[in-house]
Amino acid sequence: MAETRLGDRIYWLDPEQRGILPLDGFHLSRRLRRTVNSARFEVAVDRDFSATIAGCAAPDHGRPDTWINPDIRELFTELNRMGYAHSVECWRDKVLVGGLYGVAIGGAFFGESMFSRARDASKVALVHLVVRLRLGGFTLLDTQFITEHLAQFGALEIPRDTYHMKLAAALDVDATWLPAPEPDAFRADLDALLRQSACHVRDADESID
């Protein structure tokens, strides 16, 4: 990543604590499930990767600067052309209003950034990403760092050594990136995520008691 969106140097980072979002521990609320199933957004994959990474690179009211400089945009756009980098996009009235992008290698997906210009747009994109990864046989969703936005979905930090082991195992997995999952399978996995989330809530309540 770069220091700023206008910076001219790129740094490789390997933090002591790495953020991941466990695919078997994703928290999905009923409200968000209804939003995903509604017609609020048209969700597409790789329709406009360049616009998606540009949206992630642009500053907004809660994020005055980003780490995505022109070199990173160019490199990831080339990875998209090569079939490794992907975007999940939310469109409304033919306007891109949110999305995310990342890189898929083996059974690992490296989430890079997301943006939202409409309520829940980035959340819907994340849900669509998680379902695609689960159905495609992925085992690792790397979020790099933890934010409040990601923590609400079950993201957590693990030590560097643990991350390296999970990464090595995931790279040996022959997973499949699914641009358009079969609708019935998609809805079934959404329901599974909702049931899974309910179990996490019950377990937390019981531990408090």
Per-residue pLDDT tens for 39-62? 899 999 999 999 999 999 887 766
C-alpha–C-alpha distance, residues 196 and 118, integer Å = 27
Question: Rg of the chain over CA atoms, in angstroms?
Answer: 17
C-alpha–C-alpha distance, residues 102 and 106, integer Å = 13
At 59 the pLDDT is: 77
10 in a structural domain: no
At 70 the pLDDT is: 86
Q: Are 88 and 62 in contact (CB under 8 A)?
A: no
Task: Report the domain count for the chain.
Answer: 1
pLDDT at 205 over 50: no
| Type of residue at 141 | L
54 in a structural domain: yes
148 in a structural domain: yes
Phi, psi of 186 (to 5 degrees): -60, -50
3 in a structural domain: no
Predicted confidence band of residue 206 (pLDDT cuts 50, 70, 90): very low
Contacts of 191 (CB under 8 A, 6+ apart): none
C-alpha–C-alpha distance, residues 158 and 22, integer Å = 11
The per-residue pLDDT for range 100-143, each reduced to its tens digit, is 999 999 999 999 999 999 999 999 999 999 999 999 999 999 99
Predicted confidence band of residue 66 (pLDDT cuts 50, 70, 90): confident
In 10 A of CB 85, how many CB atoms? 22
30 in a structural domain: yes
At 155 the pLDDT is: 96
At 61 the pLDDT is: 60
1 in a structural domain: no
66 in a structural domain: yes
pLDDT at 28 over 80: yes
Q: Give the residue numbers spanning the domain of 141.
A: 17-208
For residue 55, give the CATH number of its domain: 3.40.630.70
C-alpha–C-alpha distance, residues 208 and 193, integer Å = 23
The per-residue pLDDT for range 134-184, each reduced to its tens digit, is 999 999 999 998 888 899 999 999 999 999 999 999 999 999 999 999 999
pLDDT at 18 over 50: yes
97 in a structural domain: yes
pLDDT at 5 over 70: no
